[in-house]
Amino acid sequence: MDTVETASDLRTRVAKWRREGARIGFVPTMGNLHNGHFSLVTLCREKTDRVVASVFVNPTQFGPNEDFARYPRTLGKDQEGLASHGCDVLFAPGIEEMYPFGIDAAVRIEVPKIGESLEGAMRPGHFAGVATVVTKLLNLVQPDVAVFGRKDYQQLLVIERLVRDLCLPVDIIGAPTQREADGLAMSSRNQYLSVEERGKAGTIHATLRAMRDALLVGEPLEKIESLACRRLVEAGFVPDYAVLRKREDLGEPSRTSRDGLIALIACRLGKTRLIDNLLL
């Protein structure tokens, strides 16, 4: 596996593959990779001839009080893992390469409505940062296929919307969430949890499953959401939300709706913010 740091080097390699008739896949990441990320690479490898992954901790998707500075950077370990899972090229640019005019002067891409609720409301500007950097990366790689995890479900919807609205010629694939033995969704932020907190963290997935079960027996949606929040609080979490939404656009469902829904949770455990979801 080769590692490149500049757009010109990346484009040189991709152009060579294009001339050879290769089908190209792309997996964008922020690094500090784990088995959840590697499952995306594996899926991408199955559907393409060549795989590009990126490692870039994108500053524009972090808020002023979020963890950009302490987000773990583990490039050497990431390179080893990507190479062993079939990645052909790793693109690891610096901030200046991705934002040549500086962050404050960068062009920004907004995805209205679908990016404004839930995470968009809790983290103003987050999805503009995501949409901007993903558009840049897709333009640089110009893949046939790009793979994103469903754990960040709202992010996946935002990316699907921008690709469709900007007429980008790439197929977006949402990959299943990879979980630990207790159901906790794999995430780079899990390492922030203390031993005691890690013992509680599986409660998030258990709560999502309880929401699903309550929906199946006909409980009112408001009661399902209320009980989910109470369960999290009693376990020591501070919920930002525990809600049922329409899976197609995260709009609020009618109170009698039972089909096409997704349960989503965002909460804090100690200093760590965790998100998860479950299609119903």
Catalytic residue among 34, 37, 126, 205: 37
Residue 37, Cα to own-chain centre: how many angstroms? 10
Q: How far apart are CA 233 and CA 246, in angstroms?
A: 25
Reported as half-sphere exposure (CB side, CA atoms, 13 A), residue 2 has a value of: 12
Q: Locate 156 and state its tokens.
A: 């996946």
Q: Under 8 Å CB-to-CB from 130, ≥6 apart: which residues?
A: 58, 61, 155, 158, 159
Amino acid 203 reads T
Helix (H) or strand (E) holding 52: strand 50-55
Residue holding tokens 């609720």? 117
Q: Where are the alpha helices (DSSP H) in 23-152?
A: 35-47, 75-84, 95-98, 119-122, 126-141
Helix (H) or strand (E) holding 175: strand 171-175
37 is catalytic: yes
Nearest to 273 by CA among 122, 150, 124: 122
Reported as half-sphere exposure (CB side, CA atoms, 13 A), residue 120 has a value of: 19
Please state whether beta strands 89-91 and 50-55 pair in parallel, antiparallel, or not at all (unpaired).
parallel
Please identify every residue annotated as catalytic. Answer: 37
